[in-house]
Structure 1
Amino acid sequence: MPPRSGSIPGPPCQDEVDTLDFKQFLGVLRRRWLSVVALMAVGVGIASLLSFVVLTPKYESRSTVFLSVDVRDTTDAITALYFAQTRATAYADLASSDELSKRVIDALDLDMTSAQLSAEISAEVVEQTSLIRLTVVDKSARRAQTINNVLTDQFTSYIAELETPGGATSGETPQITAQITDKASYSPKAVSPRTTLYMVVAGLIGLLLGIALALVRELLDRTIRTAEHVSEFTEAPVLASVGFDTDMRNAPLLTDLGGFAARTEAFRLLRTNLQFIDLDNQPRCLVITSAVPGEGKTMTATNLAVALAQTGRNTLIIDADLRRPRVASTLGLDPAVGLTTALIGRTEIHDAIQVHEPSGLHVLASGAKPPNPTEILQSRITQDLIERLRASYDIVIIDAPPLLPVADTSVLATLCDGVILVVRHAATTRDQVSEAVNRLTQVGGRLYGVVVNMVAKRAIGSYYYYYYEETAPERGGKSSRSSSSSGKRAASR
């Protein structure tokens, strides 16, 4: 039996575990990149909306006032400087006071309250100096400059009043003098909103939220996405992964494809791996089924049978899905005559078997739909018929109904050598696979392996599969071949 895809021999060391975890993290991001990009785009979009639509642009005007000390009666200049710096801190707090705001409003006849103007004014002391920097922020650059000009004048006058109350002076106390060193500036460039910063921060927040959402979705996702997910429920190997093909409806069969098409290589790999399932007892009769409908088990059974027939082996495919038969229609044959008509004796078995000319595959269609499929399949006459056909052909492939909805496949599993379970990538849940495996185990059926169907190309590497892909022919009749590698090369073509 071939080694299980994705298995790691021996217990991994800590470094290997850490590396594997990091690779799994990158794999999650690769699979969920749309969520990450979407949340980043949402974050940047919200920041852009706030910056360009919601928030009003604000403009800034700055001016500087210098506080000096009259030291004619003071011998210690350092003490005088310290005194000026201390006063500067106190006066900076007065720059946004209600009293000063009222004076500015009266001087400019502004249509706003003192509290509103105070919110637009700020003052700070330049470190290690007695300089006070006044800043006015307003939605108009010109008005911000005008307000700052009046504010600076009123501020220096206000300091003079506080320093000489009633016009009296004292020779014992150093005298503070306020002088304007930098008049109110004018800048046509808005200082708020900071669009670039907002967009960068919002993008980073969106990135983190996107990664968090991707990890949460991965933890909550119970679908089959990697070979490790399959190995949680069975020791049977992943025999092949069949990539998703948008041209499946137009070209469902291998005979419709080129020799180097991705699907062709996938079924060649499956055909080759079947040779190593049991070297002592090569399988002569295989049941192809799935856990639930819609996994692609009929297409898998049909193309596997075609791939076997193309090697020259005498191959028969039986459509035992008596509820929703599709093998004959897929191969372009008559579905009316087949298994059920042969069982009831309406036709001989050799007359019921048709041949698919492009591949040489022998086909036993389902025939008329019976009212009791399970009872028919578990009858003695059906068992005898399968034994006869098994002895007449090199290999018999049976397309069976899904395991979970009906009991038909559980009956067929006891009549054949083994079962191949088809699961659909990112659709079949792990619970469904677990239940399907349990049902096979309960009836003593042997699960040979799993085929993962409809795998996205970016996820092919999760199943260690390598194939050549043939591109569309060029106008001159030539065709170009491109190869993509994500693991182990298909052993046979």
Structure 2
Amino acid sequence: MSVAHGTDSKGWVLDFKQFLVVLRRRWLTVVLLIVIALGVAAGITFTRTPMYESKAQVLLTVDVSKASDSYATYFTVTQRATTYAKVAKSTELAEEVIDDLNLTITPEKFADRVSAEVVEATSLIEIKIKDENARDAQKIASAFTAQYTDYVKNLEQLTGTEAAVQLKQTDQATYNPDKVSPTTLLNFIVAGLIGLLLGIGLAVARELLDRTIRTADHVAELTESPVLASIGFDGDIRSAPLLTDLGGFAARTEAFRLLRTNLQFIDLDHQPRCLVISSAVPGEGKTMTSTNLAVALAQTGRNTLIIDADLRRPRVATTLGLDPAIGLTTALVGKTEIHDAIQVHEASGLHVLASGAKPPNPTEILQSKITHDLIRRLRSSYDMVIIDAPPLLPVADASVLAKLADGVIVVVRHAKTTKDQVNEAINRLNQVGARLYGVVVNMVAKRAVGSYYYYYYEETAPSGRGKGGSSGGRRRA
């Protein structure tokens, strides 16, 4: 029994932690709903006319000398007290008070400003009158109480009962200079609580309906392959896209060192020598990932080649500051020898095979035997070959290339790529028998970096090159 209880407790703790993570992630939604609720409360509170209140009390009495049964007398007083408390809001009584004081208000609205309640365990009736002016409230309460006692007396005479009930005023109408409505503090407290509850509810609902990849658990739902690294969002990526543009201890540099290190532990018996980097859909950052991973590998002294096999939207060469016109396609059609088509990125020593001229039939070119033979020859000449492939879902190019490589790394964009897209991309790889080595989560918000669990240990990396490293290159001799 104790084990089961421990399991339940642990599960509850995990659920509570997840709840806190949701609140941390969706805090803006909660704050926005609270602000909206407070805004509504402020609008209602500050546009309503302040109301003041005056109180008076009357006592129900009975002539016991005329009563034959004490219990019946008590029952009569109790019942009459409840009845006469309701009579206080009658339209007829309101008309009499309005005529007496020459008020400019309808009987219905006047009745809304009147309340009468029986004081618990007594035969006292407390009368409350509200008005826009504190002195007027007291004046109206005094006149109303007098009219009320006469009105009840007339009703008792009509009943003709033996033990007639009488009303006697015990407390004069009070003067209260403090407004009773709107209650500013209470309104804001209630609005804040309502906004908080609505905000939490909306945050949880958004989380349950959100199908994007946000945590390592989301990746684990789709594949047993690990999260190899998470790369934080960097606003300077346009001006400094490469690791050679960053300091050795920059967050992005450390993320790619981690990715580089984790690749060594993917398969200890068969170290990968050719990797395809792709994504489910465009805009996930797969070119930046493949380029910087290749740079990180080259910085360790490994003979590394990156091939820009995205023949539709090539970006590797321009990212590295190299010539995109000569590369894979020009070598395949025989316009250039492969050793002349390969360029070298001087800042990192990375070898680069650009895409070359854009062909009209990219898929057919990548499926051709000459392309397969070329990639096999290149992988035997380098310690590591990185292939930047097109996204998996729009075209079949990445699936074709995946069969030639040792495995595939899929790049997903944090809070952008959906689970359905990733699942379909994995299915495409499974259909061609490709091996998914792992997932890289890209553009992770700073507050969400801790949501990813790394499966391996990070190496002690050497110092990176200083900022401002050259992006220029030369042709391989």
Aligned to 1:296: 285
Give 3-state SS (helix, strand or coil) of 2:295's partner: helix
Equivalent residue, structure 2, for 1:257: 246
Q: How many angstroms apart in 2 are the aligned matches of 1:242 and 1:70?
A: 89
1:305 to partner: Cα distance? 0.5
Change (3 A) 1:139 1:319: same
1:92 is matched with 85
Alpha-carbon distance in structure 2 between the residues aligned to 1:115 and 1:441: 76
State how 1:386-425 maps to structure 2 within 5 Å. Answer: 386-425=375-414
1:106 is aligned to 2:99: yes
For 2:13, which of 6, 10, 19 is the aligned residue?
Answer: 19
With normalisation by structure 2, the TM-score equals 0.87
Does the Cα contact within 8 Å between 1:410 and 1:443 map onto a contact in 2?
yes
Q: Secondary structure at the match of 2:278?
A: strand
Alignment of 1:5-404 (within 5 A): 13-53=7-47, 55-67=48-60, 88-159=81-152, 178-404=167-393
Find the counterpart in structure 1 of residue 3 from structure 2. Answer: none
Q: Is the CA contact 2:262–2:456 (under 8 Å) kept in the aligned structure 1?
A: no
Q: Name which of structure 1's ranges 368-377 and 200-209 shifts more when overlaid on structure 2.
A: 200-209
Letter in 1 for 2:137: A
- Does the C-alpha gap of structure 1 residues 35 and 488 become closer, same or farther in structure 2, counting only changes over 3 Å? farther
User: 2: CA distance between counterparts of 1:74 and 1:370?
Assistant: 112
- Asked if the contact 1:272–1:492 (Cα under 8 Å) also holds between the matched residues in 2, the reply is no
Matched residue of 1:264: which SS?
helix
Instruction: Give the corresponding residue for 1:484.
Output: none
TM-score normalised per structure 1: 0.84
Cα pair 1:268 1:492 within 8 Å, conserved? no
Instruction: For residue 147 of structure 1, report the CA deviation from its aligned partner.
Output: 0.9
Instruction: Report the secondary structure of 1:363's partner residue.
Output: strand
Shift in CA distance, 409/93, structure 1 to aligned 2, threshold 3 Å: closer
* Contact 1:224–1:230 under 8 Å retained in 2: yes
Q: Which amino acid aligns with 2:397?
A: D
**1:163–1:318 CA distance, 2 compared to 1 (3 A):** closer
Query: Match of 2:467?
Result: none
Q: 1:182 to 1:312 in 2, by over 3 A?
A: same
- Secondary structure of residue in 2 paired with 1:224: coil
C-alpha distance in 2 between matches for 1:368 and 1:88: 98
1:283–1:107 CA distance, 2 compared to 1 (3 A):
same
The CA deviation at 1:327 is: 0.5
One-letter amino acid matched to 1:45: G
Name the CA shift for 1:141/1:363 in 2 (closer, same or farther; >3 Å): same
- Aligned CA RMSD, in angstroms, stands at 2.8
Residue type of the alignment partner of 2:438: G
Name the amino acid aligned to 2:99. D
Q: Which position in structure 2 is the counterpart of 1:468?
A: none
Aligned partners of 1:319, 1:194: CA distance in 2, in Å? 68
Partner of 2:473: none
1:478 alignment partner in structure 2: none
Provide the secondary structure at the position in 1 that maps to 2:411: strand
Q: How far did residue 81 of structure 1 move?
A: 7.6
One-letter amino acid matched to 1:115: E
Residue 435 of structure 1 pairs with residue 424 of structure 2: yes
What is the CA distance between 1:295 and its match in structure 2?
0.7
Please identify, of 43-52 and 252-261, the stretch whose mean Cα deviation from structure 2 is larger.
43-52
For the Cα contact (< 8 Å) 2:227–2:453, is it kept in 1?
Answer: no
Structure 1 residue 233: Cα displacement: 2.8
- Kept in 1: contact 2:89–2:111 (CA 8 A): yes
**What residue is the counterpart of 1:7 in the other structure?**
none
Q: Distance in 2 between matches of 1:58 and 1:384?
A: 89
What is the letter of the counterpart of residue 416 of structure 1? A
Amino-acid identity (%)? 68
SS of 1:368's equivalent?
coil
Contact 1:28 1:214 in 2 (8 A): yes
Q: Extract unaligned runs of 5+ from structure 1.
A: 1-11, 466-486
Deviations 1:452-490 (A, max 9, x none): 11111222222125xxxxxxxxxxxxxxxxxxxxx9763
Q: Which moved more, 1:416-425 or 1:62-71?
A: 62-71
Counterpart residue type for residue 107 of structure 1: D
Distance change >3 Å, CA 184–CA 390, structure 1 → 2: same
- Closer, same or farther in 2 for the Cα pair 1:404/1:93, shift >3 Å? closer
Question: Does the Cα contact within 8 Å between 1:269 and 1:492 map onto a contact in 2?
Answer: no
Instruction: Decide whether aligned partners of structure 1 residues 90 and 340 sit closer, same or farther in structure 2, where only a CA change above 3 A counts.
Output: closer
Tell me the alpha carbon deviations over residues 47-79 of structure 1, each in whole angstroms, 9 at most, x when there is no partner: 2212212x3332211112345556678899999
Do the aligned partners of 2:407 and 2:434 also contact (CA within 8 Å) in 1? yes
Provide the residue aligned with 2:459 in structure 1.
Answer: 491
How far apart, in 1, do the equivalents of 2:89 and 2:260 lie? 84
Aligned length: 455
Q: Is the 8 A contact 1:85 1:128 kept in 2?
A: no
Aligned-partner residue type, residue 109 of structure 1: N
1:95-153 CA-to-partner distances (Å, cap 9, x unmatched) read 33344323322211122333332332222232333433221112332322111111122
Distance 1:224 1:161, change over 3 A: closer
Q: CA deviation at 1:329?
A: 0.6
Distance 1:331 1:303 in 2: 10
- In structure 2, the partner of 1:5 is none
Q: 1:221 to 1:174 in 2, by over 3 A?
A: closer
Residue identity in the other structure for 2:452 = Y
Deviation at 1:83, TM superposition (A): 6.7
Secondary structure of the 1:334 match is coil
Q: Cα offset for 1:309?
A: 0.8
